[in-house]
Structure 1
C-alpha cells in the first residue's frame, strides 16, 4: 500500500517536472525558432524591396527608349509621300512628357566631343547616316539665360515692319527670312492663330509669325527669355513639360521652327545626348497641336546626302526626315537656305 502511494506521489512530481521543463526549456526553443524564422523572413523581405525591377530600366536612355516606344523605332516602314516617305506611329504623349530624362542637361563643363560607342547605332540609324565632326562649345543655354535674354516690344515691332518690307535679316540673312515668310503664307491657321515657335535666340521668327497675322506666339527655348511684347510669351523645356502635365499648356493652331530641331539631342546647347531628341521634340509639338493645325520646319536639307555633323547639327534627307515628321501630312515645300517644309495634322 505504501508502495502504491509512493508511486502516485512520484508520478505527480514527475508530471510537474515535465510541465515545468516544457515551460522553461521547450517553449524558449520554440520561441527561438520562431524568432529565427521571423528574422529570416524579415531579412528576405527587406532584401526583395531593394532588388531593381528588371522591367523598369534605370539608364536614362533606356527609359526614353521605353517611353518613346514605336516612335523611336527608326526601322518603321512608310508609304510614298509628296516629298519623301510618310511614316506613322502611335505616340504616347503622356509618357514622352512625363519622362524627365528627355529634358535633362548633360551637366558637363564642356559640350560632348564624341558620340559614345553604345549610342552610335541609334544616332546613325544602323549606320545609314554618315558622321562628320564640327565641334561647338560656346552655347550651353539649357537652364541658363538665353543669348538675348530680353526681347523688347520696340525691337519686335521694328522687326515686324522690316519683315513687311522684305528687309529683315534675322539670323541667316534676308533670303532665309523671306523664304520663311513665303512658307508661312502656305501654313494653315497661322493667321489669327496661337502659334508655338520652337527654338529662337533672337525674335526674328516671332516677328515673321506676327507679320503673318498670328494673335499669340509662345516661344520654347533652352535658355530663359523675358519678352516685353504683349503677344509674345516664352517658356523653357521644364515649363513646357510641367504645363502639359498640369493641363495648363493649352493647344496650338500652328508650330513654327527654323534652324533649331536639328540640334536637339546633340549636347551643343547643354542638353543630354539623345539619339531621338529631334524626333521627340516634333512629336511633343504634335501632341499640343489642334487637328488641322500646321507645322512649318526650316532645317538643313539634302534629299540624297544627309549627314550627322557632330555636335553642330543634322542634315536631313529621305532617310531621317520621314521619322522626324511622324504622323504629319506633307503639304508644301518652299525655297530658302534651310529648306522650308509645311505639314498638317490630320485625324
Structure 2
C-alpha cells in the first residue's frame, strides 16, 4: 500500500512556522545583546553627568579615584568616540588642540624625594628666595603671598599632585604642623615632615585637613596623560572629593590651574576660562586671588591660550572656602 500523499501546502506551513520560530530566536538574541550594550552606554553616560546632579555615586564618601570610562590613558584624541569627545569639550563649547603625552610612571621609577633637597628649598623660602621649584619664580611668589594672607602655621596641609616637593617645602617653611601629599605616582620620601599617599590610601582614610593645596594638578585629571582613568569631568569630580577633605570649620582650598580662555589641550591639560572655572568654584567662596598682576576681568581675555605647553600660562592662586 502506498503511503498517503502529503499536502504541499501543509509542508510549507510547517517550514513557515519553523522559520518564524528561528526568526524569533534571532530577534531575542539581538535584543538581549543590544540591551546589554544599551545598558553599558547608559552607565557610561550616567558616569559622565554625575557632577551635574551634585550627588555622590554611592552612600559612602566620594572616591578620590574617579569612576573611569571603560579604559585608562594615555589615549590619542582621534581614538576617542565622538560622544565622549563632546563631553570633553562641553558639547563643542571648548576648542581642542592636540598635544599628546605619555607620562605614565611604573612603580619601578617612582619619584624619590631627599631630605637634603627639601631642607635646601625650605631655607630658600625662609630667605624669601624664589630660585627653585618646578613652575618658576612667579608660582612660588604667588603661593607665598597667599600664605602671608592666609597663614598655615600649625595646620595640617594636604598637597594634591606633586612631582617634586617644591610646594611641600613652602608649606614646611611657613610652619605647617604636618604635610601630606597624594599623587597617582606615590613619591618615596623619608622626611618625617611629609607623609606621602597614593589614591587608594587617601580613600581608605577618614582624615580631614585644615588646608588642601593643588597647584597645576587638577587640569590633568581625567585626560589619561599620567596613566590615570579617562573621564571628561575628572577635574570636577576631583573638586567634589576635595570638599569632603577640607575641614568644615575654617578649612581652606588653595587652587591654581591654567587660566585664560577656555581650551582643551589634549592630553596635556585644560585651560580654565569663564565656562569651566565656574564649575570648579561651585560651592566655594573666593577668599582671595594671588598672582603677578591685579586680577581683573581682563584675565579671561588674555593673549595666553596655553595651547603651547612651553609658553607661559597664568596660574593665579585662588583661596577658597566652603559655602
Question: TM-score scaled by structure 1?
Answer: 0.69
Match of 2:255 among 297, 304, 317: 297
Tell me if structure 2 keeps the 8 A contact 1:279–1:325. no
TM-aligned CA deviation for residue 134 of structure 1:
1.4
Residue 81 (structure 2) aligned to one of 102, 108, 116: 116
Q: Does 1:136 align with 2:120?
A: no
Residues 265, 278 of structure 1: 8 Å contact kept: yes
Partner of 2:235: 278
Aligned-pair Cα RMSD in Å: 3.0
Q: Which residue of 2 aligns with 1:182?
A: 145
**1:234 equivalent in alignment to 2:190:** no
Gaps of 5+ in 1: 1-49, 72-89
Deviations 1:162-206 (A, max 9, x none): 122213420022222111211222336x22111111100000011
Q: Deviations over 1:21-75 (max 9, x none)?
A: xxxxxxxxxxxxxxxxxxxxxxxxxxxxx9989997577634534654513xxxx
Correspondence for 1:102:
67
* Aligned mates of 1:121, 1:128 — CA distance in 2: 9
Instruction: Answer whether contact 1:282 1:324 (CA < 8 A) is retained.
Output: yes
Instruction: Call closer, same or farther: CA 1:161–1:105 in 2, change over 3 Å.
Output: farther
Distance in structure 1 (CA, Å) of the matches to 2:290 and 2:179: 22
CA distance in 1 between partners of 2:147 and 2:267 (Å): 29
Larger Rg: 1
1:258 aligns with 2:215: yes
Quick one: which of 288, 301, 315 aligns to 1:338? 315
Deviation at 1:100, TM superposition (A): 6.3
Q: 2:171 aligns with which of 193, 204, 209?
A: 209
Counterpart in the other structure of 1:13:
none
What CA distance in whole angstroms lies between the structure 1 residues aligned with 2:231 and 2:181?
Answer: 22
Paired residue for 1:9?
A: none
Matches for 1:49-128 after TM superposition, within 5 Å: 61-62=44-45, 64-65=47-48, 68=51, 70-71=53-54, 94=59, 97=62, 102=67, 106-107=71-72, 111-114=75-78, 115-128=80-93
- C-alpha separation in 1, matches of 2:217 and 2:84: 22
* Conservation of the 8 A alpha-carbon contact between 1:147 and 1:201: no
User: What is the total number of aligned residue pairs between the two structures?
Assistant: 267
- Name the residue aligned to 1:324: 280
The answer to whether the 8 Å contact 2:114/2:191 transfers is: yes
Change (3 A) 1:158 1:277: same
| SS of equivalent residue, structure 2 residue 251 | strand
Q: Is the 8 A contact 1:184 1:296 kept in 2?
A: no
Q: Is the 8 A contact 1:67 1:99 kept in 2?
A: no
Hey, what does 1:194 align to over in structure 2?
156
How much has 1:339 moved relative to structure 2? 1.4
Relative to the length of structure 2, the TM-score reads: 0.73
| 1:10 match | none
2:134 maps to 171
Conservation of the 8 A alpha-carbon contact between 1:123 and 1:275: yes
